[in-house]
Amino acid sequence: MTGDSPSNGPTARISAVQEDIVRLRLTDPETQAMVKNEVVYVRPARNPDERLKAEVLRISGDQADAQVYESTGGIELGDGVEQSGRLLSVSLGPGLLGQVYDGLQNPLEPLAVAHGTFLPRGIELPGLDSTAKWAFSPSRRIGEKVTGGDTLGTVPEGVIQHKIMVPFDIDEEVELTWLRGGSVTVEDPVARLRDAAGVERTVTLRQDWPVRLSLPRRLIESKRSERLYPDTPMITSQRLIDTFFPIAQGGTACIPGPFGAGKTVLQNLISRHADVDVVIVVACGERAGEVVETITEFPRLRDPRTGGSLMDRTVIICNTSSMPVASREASIYTGLTIGEYYRQMGLRTLLIADSTSRWAQAMRETSGRLEEIPGEEGFPAYLDSSIKGVYERAGLIRTNDGSTGALTMIGTVSPAGGNFEEPVTQSTLSAVKCFLGLSADRAYKRFYPAVDPLLSWSRYREQLAPWFAEQMGPDWGARVQAMETLLSRGEDIAQMMQVTGEDGVTLDDFVTYQAALFLDMVFLQQDAFDEVDSSVPLARQKAQFDGVHAAVTRSYAFADKAAVRDYFTRLTGLYKNLNYAAQGSQDEERLLDEIAALDRTVPIFAHGADSEAAAP
């Protein structure tokens, strides 16, 4: 967050303290006022050098309630409060990529270097390094008319071209009166703008934006930018997601699941292999061990797109469960604002929030301390609208210069005991268009990713049907639907067999059960730790799907159930080995020949070609 400059002297006093919530009273309400979400600083009399950052949550006459982003120990009644006159904001500019921040955009590594592992209260640092030099290349000419969101030039930031834009809060056309290129810091002036009244404004590489306000809102309202209908999938290279439950570029998805179901591994796979330009990971209220693992693992991961470190195009915002509740609640908004900023450059951005359950619990704690009327399970009554407000900031946008940027948001949910009926999960399901429900039963069987294909859904499948029809074939949607039907029928037969045994089902039903199990084993499951199988390009996914679809839609003429079991067991082994074989390798050719040879040994009904899909 930006280092806000407080006003001269206290303008309010502490009148009450309840954990991290303080009540403020203006010293001169006739001439002073507070604004919701304004940043204020508490100055404890016991420690005059401390400045404890807080945010105004609620205003009532000359009083206001504020949440303090630090421990409130030692704050006394009558302590002074200084107003900053600014909303809680984030610093935007080159230097964000590769950083690890807390929920208030304090860079954690420089903090640790300057103050050690255990940070003192009231310490904050600028979100962007003010000493780093950037090579700014102007793309405009002096005398041109520009408006908020227009590009003035670019600086190289790692693997991307970082666009320097006219401040987003400028609504009118202004004249570019001065512009310079060269090596500059984020604080050095690079342009000056003059409005119709003759007032000039200096532009630097850095600009600030309030985290709780949607960054492109004013640009869209003034028709400078345009929100578009997502029509392209975000390819994750995970077969189960890309084929059965696709996520659109600029779309929303959630991954709820119980402890130990593989949420962290799945989100790491998506963030590593998804076809996006920038990844933002918000670790919101997770255990410190998981956050440390994320922080240490990402720099070591190889970026499959660039060959460098995955951290070079990643921003991590972490607030563990041991950090202040208030900053945990702010962390998601910080990540969203950074994501919107990169989207406005025409980049594809992915934000993964882990977990929104901890974020909602932080809201519940704050709401309780404010003595608000509770809703279901003690969550605030506005939980549903708050969750919708977060996911609505994702989307596909045509920016001022005509480029298209996307912000895709995936939130993980950690319902207690895997109960998907609890309020956070239900509110999330009503806000997103893709639901990847993790199953403890599948995780127990080591079926990874443990996404339950009979529980999950994606409303993007129909929305993206034209794209899949063009890229994967006109019958792609129908074939995928047939495979879903096969999985459902296979599960029904499996439930029946648990009661009656194999002898209680017909030979045809047993073939259907084995075909569904084969589909699950070789296509839905994917080895996250295998170099080849962990990431499957879309073209290879189609080839694998074609082979599996052909195998399960034949009309077999088996003599008995033993022959069925033997065939599908051998076929499953060959296909699983095929998944591990590098594309174009000799191993792949050999396995394909063995599969073809096995198929030639199996009797097929003559009318099999006319049989309905998924009805062996």
Task: Please state the residue numbers annotated as binding site for ATP.
Answer: 257-264
Q: Report the distance separating Cα 77 and Cα 24, nearest Å.
A: 10
Q: Is 588 strand, coil or helix?
A: helix
For every residue of 186-235, which 3-state class applies, written as one string?
Answer: CCCEEEEEECCCCCEEEEECCEEEECCCCCCHHHHHCCCCEEECCCCECC
- DSSP category for residue 449: S
Q: Which helix (H) or strand (E) holds 241?
A: none
Q: What is the CB-side half-sphere exposure of residue 63 using CA atoms within 13 A?
A: 7
Q: Report the distance separating Cα 434 and Cα 394, nearest Å.
A: 13
Q: Is 10 strand, coil or helix?
A: coil
Q: Report the distance separating Cα 194 and Cα 179, nearest Å.
A: 12
* Burial group, residue 326, by CB count within 10 angstroms (0-12, 13-18, 19+): buried
Give the closest residue to 53 by CA, choosing from 96, 1, 100: 1
Task: Judge contact between 281 and 290, C-beta under 8 A.
Answer: no
CA distances (Å), origin 279, targets 275, 315, 345, 351: 10, 6, 14, 6
| C-alpha triplet 545, 231, 389: angle, nearest 5° | 115
Angle at which helix 356-369 crosses helix 325-343, to 10 degrees, equals 130
Q: Is 292 strand, coil or helix?
A: helix
Annotated binding-site residue numbers: 257-264
CA distances (Å), origin 146, targets 57, 151, 177, 200, 215: 36, 9, 11, 13, 18
Q: Report the distance separating Cα 521 and Cα 523, nearest Å.
A: 6
Task: Judge contact between 407 and 238, C-beta under 8 A.
Answer: no
| C-alpha triplet 12, 16, 19: angle, nearest 5° | 120
- Spell out a b/e string for 301-321, using b for 16 or more CB atoms within 10 Å of the CB, else e: eebebeeebbbbbbbbbbbbb
Q: Which helix (H) or strand (E) holds 45?
A: none
Q: Tokens in use for 594?
A: 């063995």
Task: Judge contact between 102 and 318, C-beta under 8 A.
Answer: yes
Q: Report the distance separating Cα 109 and Cα 130, nearest Å.
A: 15
Q: Report the distance separating Cα 605 and Cα 588, nearest Å.
A: 29
Q: Report the distance separating Cα 211 and Cα 190, nearest Å.
A: 25
Please state the separation of Cα 264 from the chain's center in Å: 12
Q: Tokens in use for 42?
A: 């508490």
